[in-house]
Protein backbone atom coordinates (compact mmCIF):
# COMPACT_ATOMS: atom_id res chain seq x y z
CA UNK A 1 0.00 0.00 0.00
CA UNK A 2 3.03 2.31 0.36
CA UNK A 3 3.89 4.16 -2.79
CA UNK A 4 7.40 4.78 -3.95
CA UNK A 5 7.11 8.42 -2.86
CA UNK A 6 6.64 7.58 0.82
CA UNK A 7 9.64 5.29 0.78
CA UNK A 8 11.97 7.58 -1.12
CA UNK A 9 14.87 9.17 0.76
CA UNK A 10 13.67 12.64 -0.24
CA UNK A 11 10.22 12.06 1.32
CA UNK A 12 11.68 10.62 4.49
CA UNK A 13 14.06 13.58 4.77
CA UNK A 14 11.23 16.06 4.19
CA UNK A 15 9.06 14.33 6.80
CA UNK A 16 11.92 14.31 9.30
CA UNK A 17 12.63 18.00 8.72
CA UNK A 18 8.94 18.79 9.13
CA UNK A 19 8.82 16.94 12.45
CA UNK A 20 11.95 18.75 13.65
CA UNK A 21 10.42 22.10 12.69
CA UNK A 22 7.25 21.27 14.65
CA UNK A 23 9.28 20.30 17.70
CA UNK A 24 11.30 23.51 17.50
CA UNK A 25 8.15 25.61 17.22
CA UNK A 26 6.59 23.82 20.18
CA UNK A 27 9.69 24.67 22.21
CA UNK A 28 9.33 28.39 21.48
CA UNK A 29 6.46 28.82 23.93
CA UNK A 30 6.82 30.56 27.26
CA UNK A 31 9.15 28.71 29.57
CA UNK A 32 8.29 28.65 33.24
CA UNK A 33 10.58 27.83 36.06
CA UNK A 34 9.51 24.71 37.90
CA UNK A 35 8.06 25.05 41.37
CA UNK A 36 11.34 23.66 42.61
CA UNK A 37 14.27 22.07 40.84
CA UNK A 38 14.27 18.32 40.49
CA UNK A 39 15.51 16.62 43.58
CA UNK A 40 14.73 19.60 45.83
CA UNK A 41 12.13 19.25 48.58
CA UNK A 42 8.96 21.33 48.53
CA UNK A 43 10.06 24.69 49.97
CA UNK A 44 6.93 24.90 52.11
CA UNK A 45 7.06 21.38 53.55
CA UNK A 46 7.35 21.82 57.30
CA UNK A 47 7.29 25.63 57.02
CA UNK A 48 5.28 27.39 59.72
CA UNK A 49 3.45 30.60 58.78
CA UNK A 50 3.04 31.51 62.47
CA UNK A 51 6.81 31.34 62.90
CA UNK A 52 7.10 33.31 59.65
CA UNK A 53 4.99 36.10 61.13
CA UNK A 54 7.33 36.26 64.14
CA UNK A 55 10.35 36.37 61.84
CA UNK A 56 8.87 39.25 59.83
CA UNK A 57 8.97 41.18 63.11
CA UNK A 58 12.47 40.08 64.08
CA UNK A 59 13.96 40.86 60.65
CA UNK A 60 12.31 44.29 60.74
CA UNK A 61 10.54 43.89 57.40
CA UNK A 62 8.17 46.75 58.28
CA UNK A 63 11.08 49.17 58.12
CA UNK A 64 10.69 49.02 54.34
CA UNK A 65 7.40 47.21 53.67
CA UNK A 66 3.81 47.61 54.75
CA UNK A 67 2.70 44.23 56.09
CA UNK A 68 -1.01 43.64 56.71
CA UNK A 69 -1.66 43.25 60.44
CA UNK A 70 1.86 44.24 61.47
CA UNK A 71 2.42 47.59 63.15
CA UNK A 72 5.42 49.59 62.17
CA UNK A 73 6.56 52.81 60.57
CA UNK A 74 4.75 53.86 57.44
CA UNK A 75 7.27 53.11 54.74
CA UNK A 76 7.23 53.01 50.98
CA UNK A 77 10.80 51.89 50.34
CA UNK A 78 9.69 48.41 49.31
CA UNK A 79 6.33 47.23 47.98
CA UNK A 80 3.51 46.37 50.37
CA UNK A 81 3.51 42.65 51.13
CA UNK A 82 -0.23 42.11 50.81
CA UNK A 83 -1.65 39.52 48.40
CA UNK A 84 1.75 37.97 47.75
CA UNK A 85 0.19 34.73 46.50
CA UNK A 86 -1.59 36.63 43.71
CA UNK A 87 1.45 38.42 42.31
CA UNK A 88 2.94 37.43 38.99
CA UNK A 89 6.54 38.04 39.96
CA UNK A 90 8.83 38.08 42.97
CA UNK A 91 11.04 41.17 43.07
CA UNK A 92 9.81 42.01 39.60
CA UNK A 93 12.07 39.38 38.04
CA UNK A 94 11.18 35.82 39.11
CA UNK A 95 7.90 34.04 38.40
CA UNK A 96 6.02 33.94 41.68
CA UNK A 97 6.11 30.53 43.31
CA UNK A 98 7.27 29.35 46.74
CA UNK A 99 10.68 28.19 45.50
CA UNK A 100 11.45 31.58 43.92
CA UNK A 101 10.16 33.52 46.91
CA UNK A 102 12.52 31.58 49.19
CA UNK A 103 15.33 32.17 46.67
CA UNK A 104 14.59 35.90 46.67
CA UNK A 105 14.48 36.18 50.46
CA UNK A 106 17.81 34.38 50.83
CA UNK A 107 19.75 36.84 48.67
CA UNK A 108 17.81 39.48 46.70
CA UNK A 109 20.93 41.14 45.18
CA UNK A 110 22.07 37.76 43.79
CA UNK A 111 18.76 37.53 41.92
CA UNK A 112 18.66 41.17 40.85
CA UNK A 113 21.77 43.29 41.47
CA UNK A 114 19.68 46.46 40.95
CA UNK A 115 17.32 45.76 43.84
CA UNK A 116 17.22 48.03 46.87
CA UNK A 117 16.46 45.05 49.11
CA UNK A 118 19.57 43.97 51.01
CA UNK A 119 20.71 40.48 51.81
CA UNK A 120 19.42 40.07 55.37
CA UNK A 121 21.60 37.06 56.13
CA UNK A 122 18.48 34.95 56.43
CA UNK A 123 18.72 31.21 56.95
CA UNK A 124 16.94 28.87 54.56
CA UNK A 125 14.62 27.76 57.37
CA UNK A 126 13.69 31.38 58.15
CA UNK A 127 13.10 32.13 54.45
CA UNK A 128 10.80 29.11 54.21
CA UNK A 129 8.78 30.17 57.28
CA UNK A 130 8.49 33.76 56.01
CA UNK A 131 7.44 32.51 52.58
CA UNK A 132 4.71 30.37 54.16
CA UNK A 133 3.50 33.45 56.06
CA UNK A 134 3.66 35.87 53.11
CA UNK A 135 1.59 33.53 50.97
CA UNK A 136 -1.25 33.72 53.54
CA UNK A 137 -1.56 37.51 53.42
CA UNK A 138 -4.70 39.09 51.98
CATH code of residue 91: 2.60.40.420
Q: Is residue 28 part of a domain?
A: no
CA-to-CA distance for 128 and 106, rounded, in angstroms?
9
Q: Is residue 79 part of a domain?
A: yes
pLDDT classification of 33: cutoffs 50, 70, 90: very low
Q: Is residue 123 part of a domain?
A: yes
Q: What is the pLDDT of residue 34?
A: 39
Residue 71 has pLDDT above 60, yes or no: yes
Query: How many domains does the chain contain in total?
Result: 1
Residue 11 has pLDDT above 70, yes or no: no
CA-to-CA distance for 64 and 117, rounded, in angstroms?
9
Instruction: Quote the domain boundaries for residue 122.
Output: 49-134
Average pLDDT, the chain: 83
Q: Is residue 117 part of a domain?
A: yes
pLDDT classification of 35: cutoffs 50, 70, 90: very low
Report the percentage of the chain scoring pLDDT > 70: 72
Contact 81, 66 (CB under 8 A): yes
Q: Is residue 130 part of a domain?
A: yes
- Between 41 and 99, the higher pLDDT residue: 99
Burial 85-118 (b: 16+ CB within 10 A, else e): eebeebbeebbbbbbbbbbbbbebeebeeebebe
Mean pLDDT over 90-118 rounds to 96
Q: Is residue 74 part of a domain?
A: yes
Q: Is residue 43 part of a domain?
A: no
pLDDT classification of 66: cutoffs 50, 70, 90: very high
Q: Is residue 72 part of a domain?
A: yes
Amino acid sequence: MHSRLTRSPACRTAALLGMIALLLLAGCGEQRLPLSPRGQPDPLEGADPIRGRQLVDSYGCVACHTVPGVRGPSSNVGPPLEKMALRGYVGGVLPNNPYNLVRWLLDPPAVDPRTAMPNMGMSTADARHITAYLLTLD
